Amino acid sequence: MCELLGMSANVPTDIRFSFAGLARRGGETGPHADGWGISFYEGRTTRSFHEPEPSSRSQLARLLRDMPIKSCIVLGHVRRANRGRVSLENTHPFSRELWGRRWTFAHNGQLKGVKRLELGAFTPIGTTDSEHAFCWMLGRLHARFETLPRPATLDRIVADLCAELHALGVFNMLMSDSRTLYAHCGKRLCYLTRRSPFGKATLIDEDWTIDFARETTANDVVTVVATQALTRDESWTVVERGDMLTLREGEVRVLRGRNGCAHAT
Residues with a known catalytic role? 2
Indicate the Cα dihedral angle 100, 102, 107, 111, nearest 10°: 30
Rounded-to-integer distance, Cα 162 and Cα 219, Å: 33
Burial label, 190 (beta-carbon count in 10 A; 0-12, 13-18, 19+)? middle
Asked whether 147 and 39 are in contact (CB, 8 A), the reply is no
